[in-house]
Amino acid sequence: MAPSGDLMGAAEDLADQFLRVTKRYLPHLAHLCLISTFLEDGIRMWFQWNEQRDYINMSWGCGIILATLFVLINMSGQLVGCILVLARKFVPYACFGLFGIIFMQTVAYSILWDLKFLMRNLALGGGLLLLLAESRSEGKSMFAGVPTVDDISPRQYMQLGGRLLLVLMFMTLLHFELSAFTIFQDIFGMALIILVAIGFKTKLAALTLVIWLFVINLVQNAFWNIPTYRPLHDFLKYDFFQTMSVIGGLLLVVALGPGGVSMDEHKKKW
């Protein structure tokens, strides 16, 4: 039997080979996955305009005009933000706009009081933070003049914050049930979460999480098997695309690396 070090080395070599083959396409795939939940939600608001407007009006008693304005801002903000990200134009402004959409939805749909959905929204924000870090070139900084510590730039702090927020998605997937498979799944997932959070073996851990989360998403959120008239269809569809956005964030971790605030980076100095 091969020693665990040899197995880890072989896995890292396989991951590096994958990255060499896909490095031209991986960022584009990451962007598409990352904005997928905003794109789907914006399109859904177009087709469910009246339902969304009436829900906001009934929930907040704000009147038809303000409810309509909310839906319009929500829909247009998401669709315009997605177009800008995919076109790679004004990406920082698109990110800030999408951050605003997340905040609006968290308040308007009372997500603030639902821990599971709040953690998923924060994880989605982590993906946007990584996208913001990617868009920020070292030469033309939107944080010019901000002091750094030990040559660590604000971009690297963004990568750290993005990594830490992304792992919140996986906290919502832990079951804590007393079955052998569930215990293995929780321990395996928690180990990968910790590796990504501290930035150790980051690309391999993030790539493994991408595969694991993609499989879970296909199995647990198969909205295409549910008739469209059932409320469960929309619920699973929402979960599916939100999970795809977190996968996009993890793919950015794979493409960009963990950044300067990580054990992988500090190992280079040892």
- DSSP track, 78-113: HHHHHHHHHHTSSHHHHHHHHHHHHHHHHHHTTGGG
Sign of CA dihedral 233, 111, 91, 20: negative
Task: Report whether pLDDT(79) > 80.
Answer: yes
Determine, yes or no, domain membership for 2: no
Determine, yes or no, domain membership for 257: yes
Kindly state the average pLDDT of the residues 163-191. 81
Q: How many CA atoms lie within 13 A of 223 on its CB side?
A: 17
The pLDDT value recorded for residue 193 is: 86
**Using CB atoms within 10 A of its CB, is residue 200 exposed (0-12), middle (13-18) or buried (19+)?**
middle
Task: Report whether pLDDT(176) > 80.
Answer: no
Determine, yes or no, domain membership for 240: yes
Count of the separate structural domains present in the chain: 1
Determine, yes or no, domain membership for 242: yes
Determine, yes or no, domain membership for 192: yes
Kindly state the average pLDDT of the residues 136-157. 57
Determine, yes or no, domain membership for 9: no
Determine, yes or no, domain membership for 4: no
Task: Report whether pLDDT(1) > 50.
Answer: no
Q: Which domain holds residue 86?
A: 26-137+153-267
Residue 234 CA to residue 239 CA, distance in Å, equals 9
pTM: 0.85
Determine, yes or no, domain membership for 17: no
